[in-house]
C-alpha cells in the first residue's frame, strides 16, 4: 500500500495580506504487513504488525498461543506476560527487528493493584539493559476476557543504532 503524503507550511507574509503555502516535502510512504505463524493470528480486521519507513507497529498482543488458543488452566499474570512478550518477540523477529529495538510499549492490565508488580517482574527480564518508553494503564476489560494486552513500536535492525 502506498500513500502520497504532502506536508504544507502556511504562513502569512508580513506586510502582505496573502497566504503563502509552501510545499515542504512530498514523500512516498510504503507500508508492509509482516505476518508470522509464531504468534496468534489477528482476531479481527487488523495485522499482527505493519512496517512503515523503518518503524514496526505491533498490534496489541494477548496471552494466546501461536495456535490461537488461550493458555491452559488459570494462568498467573506472570505466565500471561511471558506469552505476550514471546508473541511480541516472534512478531518483531519476523519483521527484521527484536525486543532491544522497541522504542515504545503500551501495556493494558485489567487490575493494576494485583497485576502490576507481577507483570513488571517478567517485563524486567526482557528489558534489563534496554528500557523503551512505556505506558501501563488499567482498563475495565480486554478482548476474550484476558487480563493483559501489549502493543509496541520498534525500529528495524538495519535502521537502528540500538
Predicted pLDDT of residue 14: 43
Tell me the catalytic residues: 136
Write down the pLDDT at residue 160: 64
Tell me which CATH homologous superfamily contains domain 31-159: RutC-like (3.30.1330.40)
> Higher model confidence: residue 128 or residue 147?
147
Q: Tell me: the pLDDT tens digits for 89-128?
A: 999 999 999 999 999 999 999 999 999 999 999 999 999 8
- 107-126 burial code (b ≥16 CB/10 A, e <16): bbbbeeeebeebbeebbeeb
pTM over 0.85: no
pLDDT of residue 33: 87
pLDDT mean across residues, the chain: 84
At residue 6, the 3 state secondary structure works out as strand
Q: What is the pLDDT of residues 3-30, one digit of tens each?
A: 333 333 334 344 444 433 333 333 556 7
Cell numbers at residue 133, please?
Answer: 518508553
Q: Are 151 and 113 in contact (CB under 8 A)?
A: no
Contact of 48 with 27, CB cutoff 8 Å: no
Q: Where are the domains of the chain?
A: 31-159
Which has the minimum average pLDDT: 1-10, 50-59, 109-118, 142-151? 1-10
Q: Which residue has the higher pLDDT, 148 or 21?
A: 148
DSSP string of 107-159?
EEES-HHHHHHHHHHHHHHH-SS---EEEEEE-S--GGG-SEEEEEEEE-GGG
Instruction: Let me know: does 108 contact 134? Beta carbons within 8 Å.
Output: no
Amino acid at each position: 500500500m502506498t500513500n502520497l503524503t504532502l506536508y504544507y507550511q502556511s504562513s502569512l507574509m508580513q506586510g502582505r495580506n496573502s497566504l503563502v503555502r509552501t510545499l515542504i516535502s512530498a514523500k512516498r510512504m510504503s507500508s508492509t504487513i509482516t505476518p508470522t505463524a509464531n504468534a496468534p493470528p489477528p482476531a479481527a480486521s487488523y495485522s499482527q504488525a505493519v512496517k512503515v519507513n523503518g518503524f514496526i507497529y505491533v498490534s496489541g498482543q494477548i496471552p494466546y498461543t501461536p495456535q490461537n488458543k488461550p493458555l491452559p488452566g488459570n494462568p498467573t499474570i506472570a505466565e500471561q506476560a511471558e506469552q505476550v512478550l514471546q508473541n511480541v518477540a516472534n512478531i518483531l523477529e519476523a519483521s527484521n527487528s527484536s525486543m532491544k529495538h522497541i522504542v515504545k510499549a503500551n501495556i493494558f492490565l485489567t487490575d493494576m493493584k494485583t497485576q502490576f508488580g507481577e507483570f513488571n517482574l517478567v517485563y524486567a527480564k526482557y528489558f534489563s539493559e534496554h528500557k523503551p518508553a512505556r505506558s501501563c494503564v488499567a482498563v475495565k476489560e480486554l478482548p476474550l476476557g484476558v487480563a493483559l494486552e501489549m502493543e509496541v513500536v520498534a525500529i528495524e535492525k538495519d535502521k537502528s543504532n540500538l
